[in-house]
Amino acid sequence: MKALLTGFEPFGGDRLNPSEMVVRRFSEVGTSELPGLEIHTVVLPVSFRRAGMVLRGLLDELKPDIYIGLGLSAGISFVTVERVAINVKDARIPDNDGEQPVDEPIDPDGPAAYFTTLPKKAIVRRLRESGIPAAISNSAGTFLCNYVTYISLHYSARYGYPRRAGFMHLPLLPEQAATRSGERAGIPPSMSLDTMMRAVKIALGTTMEMFGGPDERLPP
């Protein structure tokens, strides 16, 4: 079985992005704990123009069974597994190329939204059983995280691959949270890189185990 795991480069003034660090760690340590799974890892640019081109090229080349995208959501204290991706680009801040689309469709001919097809509830349950705080999220936003999720699901609907696709948001790293602390605002929540690594391994393992089960596209 083949999986594609993507993260994002830093953006918005941050020097680090935990999703990039998780993806790079996976490329270093391999998949010995997930026998039978061939994992391909890529760090995507925080660019609407370039990220879409890179991801579409990877999906065409690899035709993965599983796609899991990872991204940062500063302010959350737990891992979120996204339920839906919507057909809109609406950027609160410019991407790393300086582009800032407002209320633009990702695909003018595509459906308004797609439900992700990872076994979301099973992943969240197993994360919690493993001591990792997690929840299902009903909004992936309208920035790059939602964008790549929509593209992966559009490919799945059109071409049949990846057969299971979705997205997970990660909290800040402790070293990031430390730089954002203030006397009045307090210290924002964070999570260690090791815990994030465990969370992604559990998500991949759960998806592998349940791969042949019922399609979760509908109902979510």
- pLDDT, tens only, 131-140: 999 999 999 9
Q: Omega of the bond prior to 214 within 30 degrees of 0, cis?
A: no
Q: Is 154 a catalytic residue?
A: no
Tell me, yes or no, if 145 is annotated catalytic: yes
Domain residue ranges in the chain: 2-209
Annotated active-site residue in 145, 175, 183, 209: 145
Which pTM was predicted? 0.92
Is the pLDDT at 215 greater than 90? The verdict is no
Pair of tokens at residue 195: 């815990």
CA–CA dist 216, 220 (Å, integer): 6
Using a 10 angstrom Cβ sphere, with 0-12 exposed, 13-18 middle and 19 or more buried, the burial of residue 182 is exposed
Q: Is 82 a catalytic residue?
A: yes
Please give the mean pLDDT across all residues of the chain: 91
Tens digit of pLDDT for each residue in 144-168?
A: 999 999 999 999 999 999 999 999 9
The pLDDT of residue 181 is 66
Task: Give me the CATH code for the 2-209 domain, please.
Answer: 3.40.630.20
- What pLDDT sits at residue 12? 87
Question: Annotated catalytic residue: which of 40, 61, 99, 169?
Answer: 169
Catalytic pick among 82, 154, 209, 216:
82
Using the predicted structure, report yes or no on whether residue 33 has a pLDDT greater than 80: no
For the stretch 46-82, pLDDT in tens is 999 999 999 999 999 999 999 999 999 998 999 999 9
Q: Which residues contact 203 (CB under 8 A, 6 or more apart)?
A: 68, 81, 118, 123, 127, 168
